[in-house]
Structure 1
Amino acid sequence: MTDTAAAALPPFLRACRGIPGGPGDRVPVWFMRQAGRSLPEYRSIRGSGSILDAIADPELSAEITMQPVRRYGVDAAILYSDIVVPVAAIGFGVDVAPGIGPVVEQPFSRAADLERLRPLDPEADTPYVLETVRILARELPVPLIGFAGAPFTVASYLIEGQPSRTYTRTKALMHGDTGLWHKLMERLADLAIVSLRSQIENGAVALQIFDSWAGALSPPDYEKFVLPHSQRVFAEVADLNVPRIHFGVGTGELLGLMASAGADVVGVDWRVPIDVARTRVPANIALQGNLDPALAFAPWDVVAEATRDVLRRNAGKPGHIFNLGHGVMPETDPTILERVVELVHNEGRCDGVVS
């Protein structure tokens, strides 16, 4: 990429590619779950019913995606959707229960269940997602991030039947029937690849793969049972030439392995300082994070100092996207996030200087 072309990129896309900013260039910022229950404007239009119903309405989904861009002035938008949309769309029997999360009518438990995971045809199965992406590609003033669930995290929902703290059934299948495990992961990787490609082909300009619960695994288990499938997902979208972000919670000991999956950017949760995370990934990998989302409930001076600490720890390094270490909590006061964005834009610099 020429210097002229790089300079023309939005700050978020430059940071994803690790391109140093010029004097005065700001650190880009966006928040996972920036659209949703924390915003009063979201609550006023969301209505009742499952989140899957809202996602199936392109005009509504596009509006929800744009709300935090208008309110916060963030540097990127992430598609309003859910990682279980592909498996729900092919008829696996998944819904998202309020206050619980994904719930599966008949959890995956045996080889015969593989037949329930047919290939995804985005044009036929999720046309509403594609239309939402097309609307946003026309109307958004900032880059749109498409996303998918990583095979392991989606598998954990399908096997457990709902969110879990222990992943007992998931690990039992992983170790007890390795052959079936890898077949399941292959099917889920296929779904992720097709979904991601369709989002880019319709207007998204970056991708995030959420392996939210990979932190439940030891490094050896991750490397043996998960990494090959995540690598295939990243490899199969590499030709699209868009930034690829890899994120998980509690993955401090997995950061190097997650980087080796093929991402351009690795998301870091709040448990590992950014400067420590830098030592665990190759120098060419950008980082995203990592303010503790719970700090949004602290007094502003505490939030401000924690935000500055993240910026200071990364000072001098290109390739940093400021974010939370996980999603925005529903009870978060939006004015706090407005102030965080303002602080990052005013004080965070891509040229290694913190005001």
Structure 2
Amino acid sequence: MGVVLNIEDGKRPSINRLLELTAADMGRVNELILSKAGSDVEMIPEIANHLISSGGKRLRPMVTLATAQMFGYSGDGHIKLATSVEFMHTATLLHDDVVDESDLRRGRKTARMIWGNQASVLVGDFLLGQAFRMMVDVGSLEALDILSTAASIIAEGEVMQLAAAKNLETTEDEHFAVIKAKTAALFSAAAEVGPVVAGATRTDRAALRSYGMNLGLAFQLIDDALDYGGDSKKLGKNVGDDFREGKVTLPVILCYRRGTAEERAFWKQAIEDNVADDAALEKALALMTRHGAIADTIGRARHFGEIARDALAPLPATPQKAALLDVIDFCISRVV
């Protein structure tokens, strides 16, 4: 079951401009990733490289690089900060897969399925340690403050999500608070540390912080929608994995709120009692279609995408600004 969006002139949004603008710097970031993921403890680079090489787009570090370039930065601090951002993201994925008991990540077995939960958590901790060492190397207390604050917020988001697990009484606002912490905080930090190291004004920094936050919210809401309306090959996981794991995401929240007493009883059985087989998934998808839950989740993602677009509006026209605008369209178009 797919969700169709209208794309002008039949052209699918892409991040090609961002890829081109950051290609040289990303080459340096990739070298630093391999260097800093190294260790004499054999299992550490094995696990780190398993996830690092698994085909992620590295969108967050590219945002850091582009926002530093936007203000004419010519040093190498943005390389270390972009690498720190990617290590923070990778560590979060390692920890998430353990907490969520996930079997697949980007179409491959998760590290925890190969090396176990303990090793995955500890290697995630190693990557966080390396990230903070690189932040210190840059010598910007403001950048260190932004990224260390983001690390704390992400951990809080994980705990919030754990506390709300399988709770069908979760409200939209509560869900937004979780994804703001778990996903959007790192996008926001990634977008702000670039201009910080480039010496941009506080107004410009605030604009990019807002851009990153709202882009992150849109990104996660599209992920929520994709679990029920996506393609397994594109997702890198099975459609319905969130459902099988009992995750209360926005499509579920909307469907549960709008459902009849009988439908709410179904959701309680599926989510709270773990009756989430293929037949239950098929019924869940039918209910989501009936109540417009996926379409409305996408609508909310579009709303945050527009706020991100407005946040960039006061900034001067540059190739980097154009590329960051492309990222908004690209993130939302993933449901096509």
TM-score for both structures, normalised by structure 1: 0.27
Q: Which has the higher strand share?
A: 1
TM-score, normalised to structure 2, is 0.28
Greater per-residue helix proportion: 2
